[in-house]
Structure 1
C-alpha cells in the first residue's frame, strides 16, 4: 500500500482535505476530485489543511473548472509560502478562497461559518487525518 499524499473526508457542510509536505499524487487528486464532484448540495465549504503540499498546475485547473460552475467557500490553513501563493492564484477564479495560518483552524472555521458540534467534528477529523498523513496512525479515511 502506497503512502497517501492527501486525505479527505466530509461533514454535513464541509469537505476537509489534509495534505502532507508533498504535492498530491495524480491518483490521490483524482479520488479527491471524484469526491468533490459527488458532494451533496449541503456541502459548499472546503477546509484545506496542509504541511506544504499543494496541487500542481493541472490539478489546479481541474478544481478551477469545478468552481467555475459551483460555489465553494474555501479556507486554506498553511504556513507554506508556496501554498499561500497557490491560494492567491485560486482566489482569482474563486474570490471565496482565503488563507489562514497552519494551525488556525478555528479562524478558518469561523470564515466558513461552521460552529458548534460540526466544528468540533471537523477539528477531530483534521487531527486524525494529520496523524494518518504523517504515517503515525492507521489509514481509515480517503
Structure 2
C-alpha cells in the first residue's frame, strides 16, 4: 500500500476501490487538491464507482475544489463516509448529500460505522484501517517539515 500524496494539509491513498483522504486542520491548497484529484482519476481508471473515506481534523475542499471533484465524478454517486468533529463540516456533508445521497458523516471515533457504510468487511476493511493510520502519520510527519 502506497501513499499517493502527502502534505501538511492533506494525505491520500487508494486501497482496492477505496479512495482515502486525511485532512489536517487547514484547508488543502491548489497543489494538495491536484494530488487528491490525481488519486481520484487513478482509481476511476480501474473502478467504475469507487468508495471514499475522508477523515478530517477540520480542513476540507473549497467550493471550487468540490466543483473540480464533481466534474471528475459526473454521473457517479460514490458511497462516501466522512469522519469529522466539526458541526459546520457536518452541515457541509448534509448539503453534499442533497447531490449524493450515499454520503454520510461519522465522528472521528466511528471507523467501524464508517466502514460498514462503505460496505467494507474482512481483509479489505483491515487494509483500509491500516492505510488510514499510515495517512494520519504521513500528515503529521509532513506538518513537522
TM-score range, shorter chain: 0.7 to 0.9
Q: Which residue in the other structure is 1:111 paired with?
A: 117
User: Relative to structure 1, is the Cα distance of residues 36 and 136 closer, same or farther in structure 2, using a 3 angstrom cutoff?
Assistant: closer
The separation in 2 between residues aligned to 1:77 and 1:33, in whole angstroms, is: 19
Kindly report the root-mean-square deviation, in angstroms, between the aligned alpha carbons of the 2 structures. Answer: 2.3
Q: Which residue in the other structure is 2:141 paired with?
A: 135
Q: CA deviation at 1:10?
A: 1.0
Q: 1:9 aligns with which of 9, 13, 17?
A: 13
What SS does the corresponding residue of 2:98 show, helix, strand or coil? helix
Asked if the contact 1:52–1:80 (Cα under 8 Å) also holds between the matched residues in 2, the reply is yes
The separation in 2 between residues aligned to 1:52 and 1:5, in whole angstroms, is: 10
What SS does the corresponding residue of 1:7 show, helix, strand or coil? strand
What SS does the corresponding residue of 1:46 show, helix, strand or coil? strand
Q: 1:46 aligns with which of 43, 47, 52?
A: 52
Equivalent residue runs for 1:32-111 within 5 Å: 32-39=36-43, 40-41=46-47, 44-111=50-117
- Show structure 1 runs of 5+ residues with no match: none
User: Relative to structure 1, is the Cα distance of residues 17 and 135 closer, same or farther in structure 2, using a 3 angstrom cutoff?
Assistant: same
What SS does the corresponding residue of 1:29 show, helix, strand or coil? helix
The separation in 1 between residues aligned to 2:32 and 2:116, in whole angstroms, is: 28
Q: Which residue in the other structure is 1:29 paired with?
A: 33
What SS does the corresponding residue of 1:22 show, helix, strand or coil? coil
| Residues 66-106 of structure 1, C-alpha deviations (whole Å, 9 max, x = no match) | 33322311000001122212211221221111101112111
Aligned length: 138
TM-score (norm 1): 0.87
Q: CA deviation at 1:17?
A: 0.6
Runs (4 or more) in structure 1 with deviation over 3 Å come to 136-139
- Show structure 2 runs of 5+ residues with no match: 1-5
Q: CA deviation at 1:12?
A: 1.0
